Amino acid sequence: MNIMELDIRTILVLLVFGNVASALTIFVYQRRFGFNPPVMHYLAGVLFQSVAWVLLDVQKLVPAFWSVYVGNALLIVGYNMAAIGLSTVGNQDRRIYRTHALVTVLGIVGFVAFSSTPASQTVAASIAALGAFIGLSVWMLRSPHRTDLKLFIGIASIVYCGILVARAVSAMLAGDNFGLMTPAPIQTIAFVPLVLVSSVGAIGFIIISKETIDARLAESEEKYRSLVERANEGIVIAQDSRFVYVNPKMAELLGTSPAMLIGRLFAEYLWPDDRERILTNHHERLAGGTLAESSDIRIIAADGTPRWLSMSSAIIHWDGRPATLNLISDVDERKRSEEQSARLL
Q: How far is it, in rounded angstroms, from Cα 220 to Cα 311?
A: 26
Kindly tell me if the per-residue pLDDT of 288 is higher than 50: yes
pLDDT of residue 345: 66
If DSSP codes are grouped into helix, strand and coil, which group holds residue 121?
A: helix
Radius of gyration of the chain (CA): 32
What would the 3-class secondary structure string for 193-217 be? HHHHHHHHHHHHHHHHHHHHHHHHH
Measured between alpha carbons, how far apart are the two ends of the chain, in Å?
107
Q: How confident is the model at residue 277 (pLDDT cuts 50, 70, 90)?
A: confident
pTM over 0.75: no
pLDDT of residue 5: 53
Whether 261 contacts 243, CB under 8 Å: yes
Looking at every residue in the chain, the average pLDDT score rounds to: 88
Cα angle 173, 175, 180; round to 5: 100
Q: How far is it, in rounded angstroms, from Cα 70 to Cα 73?
A: 5
Estimate to the nearest angstrom the gap between the alpha carbon of 177 and the chain centroid: 46
Whether 278 contacts 224, CB under 8 Å: no
Kindly tell me if the per-residue pLDDT of 77 is higher than 50: yes
For the beta carbon of residue 198, count every other beta carbon within 10 angstroms: 24
pLDDT of residue 176: 79
* Backbone φ, ψ for residue 154 (5° rounding): -60, -45
pLDDT tens across 38-59, in order? 999 999 999 999 999 999 998 8
The fraction of the chain above a pLDDT of 70, given in percent, is 98
b/e map 302-333, b = 16+ CB within 10 Å: eeeebbbbbbebeeeeeeeeebbebbbbbbbe
Kindly tell me if the per-residue pLDDT of 91 is higher than 80: yes
pLDDT tens across 179-190, in order? 888 888 888 899
Whether 152 contacts 197, CB under 8 Å: no
Q: Once rounded to an integer, what is the mean pLDDT over residues 245-252?
A: 90
Whether 251 contacts 262, CB under 8 Å: no
Q: How far is it, in rounded angstroms, from Cα 334 to Cα 316?
A: 30
* Backbone φ, ψ for residue 319 (5° rounding): 55, 40
pLDDT of residue 75: 96
If DSSP codes are grouped into helix, strand and coil, which group holds residue 101?
A: helix
Q: How far is it, in rounded angstroms, from Cα 23 to Cα 92?
A: 22
Q: Once rounded to an integer, what is the mean pLDDT over residues 124-141?
A: 94
pLDDT tens across 3-34, in order? 455 688 888 999 999 999 999 999 998 888 88
For the beta sheet containing 294-300, the strands, ordered from the edge strand earlier in sequence to the opposite edge, are: 242-246, 234-239, 321-330, 306-318, 294-300
- Single out the residue of 57, 86, 89 nearest to residue 74, CA to CA: 57
Q: How confident is the model at residue 1 (pLDDT cuts 50, 70, 90)?
A: very low
pLDDT of residue 183: 85
By DSSP bridging, strand 242-246 and strand 234-239 are antiparallel
Kindly tell me if the per-residue pLDDT of 2 is higher than 70: no
pLDDT of residue 300: 86
Q: How far is it, in rounded angstroms, from Cα 237 to Cα 315?
A: 10
DSSP code per residue over 3-61: TTS--HHHHHHHHHHHHHHHHHHHHHHHTTT---HHHHHHHHHHHHHHHHHHHHHTTTT
Kindly tell me if the per-residue pLDDT of 84 is higher than 70: yes
b/e map 29-41, b = 16+ CB within 10 Å: bbeeeeeeebbeb
* 222 membership: H or E segment, kind and range: helix 185-229
DSSP code per residue over 250-317: HHHHHTS-HHHHTTSBGGGGB-HHHHHHHHHHHHHHHTT----SEEEEEEE-TTSSEEEEEEEEEEEE
